Amino acid sequence: MTEEKINRSELLQVRLTPKESERIHQKFSHSTCRKFSDYVRKKLLDKPIAIYTRNQSLDDFMAEMIVLRNELNAIGNNYNQIVKRLHSLQHVEEIKTWLLLNESSKQILLKKVDEIKSKINQINEQWLQ
């Protein structure tokens, strides 16, 4: 089924106050319409218009996840440096020290993973309400 190209030859002019124009353009900017004329035409003909919506709880969640991701990346980098150091160790005392340091890094990592799980559970509870 092919769509015929519609030739729109009728022109409609409307005078608006600056506030009215601003209000219409503001609503247009939140729609998924690519052209202002498409938006106005749909509005005038009572056709459905898809609107972008923001979910503040999701935005907050994503901001917290970004911070946690950056912290996890830093922990991962530290861990990689520690493992490289381990491969260069030759004495038992150095290896014991590495094991103690590795244990503290592991605890930090587990704590961050628990924070991520907690945040995911919080957002899950909010969405399920």
Q: Are residues 101 and 74 in the same domain?
A: yes
pTM of the predicted protein model: 0.43
Q: Are residues 62 and 32 in the same domain?
A: no
Amino acid at 79: Y
**Is the model's pLDDT at 128 over the cut of 70?**
no
Q: Are 101 and 127 in contact (CB under 8 A)?
A: no
- Per-residue pLDDT tens over the stretch 14-61: 999 999 999 999 988 888 888 999 999 999 889 988 887 766 777 777
Q: Give the single-character DSSP code of 51.
A: B
Structurally, how many domains does the chain consist of?
A: 2
Q: Are residues 48 and 60 in the same domain?
A: no
Encoded tokens for 105: 């890094």
Q: Tell me how far CA of residue 67 lies from CA of 2, 20, 40, 45, in angstroms.
A: 50, 41, 41, 46
Is residue 23 domain-resident?
yes
SS3 label, residue 121: helix
